Amino acid sequence: MATPADRLPSLAGAAWLNAPGVRRVFAAVARDGDETRVIGGAVRDALAGLAVRDVDFATTALPETVAARAADAGLKAVPTGIEHGTVTLVVDGTGYEVTTLREDVDTDGRHAVVRFGRDWTRDAERRDFTINALSVDAEGTVFDPLAGYGDVTARRVRFIGDADRRIAEDRLRILRFFRFNAQFGEAPYDAAGLAAAIRGRNGMRALSGERVGQEMRRLATAPRVLAAVTAMQDGGILPVILAGVACLGPLARLLAFEQAAALAPTASLRLAALGCRVEEDAERIADRLRLSNAERGAIRAAVAAARQMPFPGEDRLARRRLYALGPGTYRDAVALAAARRDGDVAGYALLHDLPGHWPRPRFPLSGRDALAAGLGPGPAVGAALRDIEAWWIAEDFAPDEATLRARLREIAAA
């Protein structure tokens, strides 16, 4: 049942709705009898008092009409999802997705066959959650055909209509249910939605790793990620997603460490804490979630290095590890070590800050220096440099360049 119009606030004065790019899209598309509205996340977040990021539009105009009108208005039109009715209009470097109203003809749990329509309520009914079915026109009038406004104000995530049916249409909605609860929700999990997600969990095995990985990255960095993955673990969903056993305790300790060290969350580090004990786990997670090569390498390096990280107070060893690993891997490894060990969170935060007050030194000698000191070309050059570097590290990097060169001359003379 739709929320009565007199109970809905107006967004007429919203800065994001009156932004030049948004107004230009409205002006280009909403004409000749076609209606155009902003729909979904922007409306949800605006009504919840959150910052609005991406602005997406829905329209009764057909995709080819949208593209033609954009060209008439001097806007670039990119057919990013033309088979599903989506054209992206680019205004001053910012992309705005404009999607024709749709109705599902057939679904297989991964893809939908759609037909275009002009009925706003039918289009809303094919969406996932009530909080994502609100829309607003250019004048700021809010439309709520499925009573989602109450869920927005309560921060409650609820499927539209029958939860099992929504999930059968697209099994990725199981992950979106938990992700939206982690990002947006504050109310207890909707019982019907949670039960349907648990019942449908095995269907997620057919989803592509790319789609699952995209959702898991966003879920991993959400404010209430721990509650979400705990519910997923309890419902038998997380083992399906990760293809292995999850580690809720390390993730909880990592979150505490992030707070103590004032760190911004990163998806790769949180996924490493959640799913990786050894390097082989990093490969499994990366394959399952189709992580990038950079993400795979960062997780594997941090997992391997975490076992060798010092405890708080072992400053000399910390400097050696920082020198060996470099600042990025060192910081990730400290964070994972803190996640794996019960103990001094504040102490690990100090270890993590080491690169900020102890710049990683550079070993000043090279093969050219060894040759100049009198060593002949060959394996002796590398052996001498390794011997001196090991001594320099063992001396806690204290010997200066002159001392190192003197030691090199001694080795050459010998």
Phi, psi of 378 (to 5 degrees): 135, -170
The CATH number given to whatever domain includes residue 53 is 3.30.460.10
pLDDT at 111: 56
Q: Which of 112, 130, 154 is the last residue of a domain?
A: 154
pLDDT at residue number 113:
65
Q: How many domains does the chain have?
A: 2
Write down the pLDDT at residue 258: 97
Question: What pLDDT score was predicted for residue 338?
Answer: 97
| Average pLDDT rounded to a whole number, residues 34-39 | 98
Residue 1 pLDDT greater than 90, yes or no: no
Instruction: Report if residue 321 sits inside a domain.
Output: no
Distance of CA 155 to the CA centre of its chain: 21
Domain that holds residue 121: 1-154
342 pLDDT exceeds 90?
no
Does residue 267 belong to any structural domain of this protein? no
Per-residue pLDDT reduced to its tens digit, 275-289: 999 999 999 999 999
- For residue 292 the two structure tokens come to 């990038």
- Strand arrangement of the beta sheet that strand 57-59 belongs to: 76-81, 86-91, 94-100, 57-59, 36-39, 135-136, 142-143
SS3 content of the chain, % helix, strand, coil (to 5): 55, 10, 35
**What torsion do the CA atoms of 197, 199, 203, 208 make, to the nearest 10 degrees?**
20
Q: What is the mean pLDDT of residues 64-88?
A: 94
Distance of CA 374 to the CA centre of its chain: 55
Rounded to 5 degrees, φ, ψ at 228 are -65, -50
- Out of 154, 187, 208, a domain closes at 154
C-alpha span between 174 and 197 (Å, rounded): 5
Please indicate, yes or no, if residue 307 is contained in any of the structural domains: no
Tell me how far apart the terminal alpha carbons of the chain are, to the nearest angstrom.
91
- pLDDT classification of 353: cutoffs 50, 70, 90: very high
- Are the CB atoms for 183 and 223 separated by under 8 Å? yes
For 217-276, what is each residue's pLDDT tens digit? 999 999 999 999 999 999 999 999 998 889 999 999 999 999 999 999 999 999 999 999
Give me the residue label for tokens 């001196």: 388
Q: Confirm whether 371 is domain-assigned.
A: yes
State the burial class of residue 91 (Cβ atoms within 10 Å of its Cβ: 0-12, 13-18, 19+): buried
Cα distances from 202 to residues 111, 112, 177, 241, in angstroms, run 17, 19, 16, 10
d(CA 369, CA 362): 15
Report the distance separating Cα 267 and Cα 288, nearest Å.
15
Q: Is residue 293 part of a domain?
A: no
Using the 3D structure, point to which of 154, 176, 210 is the last residue of a domain: 154
Q: Which of 42-51, 72-81, 100-109, 188-197 has the lowest mean pLDDT?
A: 100-109
State the pTM of this model. Answer: 0.89
Residues 181-199, mean pLDDT to the nearest whole number: 97
Position 344 in a domain = no
In a domain, 373, yes or no: yes
Q: Please indicate, yes or no, if residue 90 is contained in any of the structural domains.
A: yes
Closest CA to 303 of 328, 337, 341: 337
**Which tokens go with 174?**
């199981």
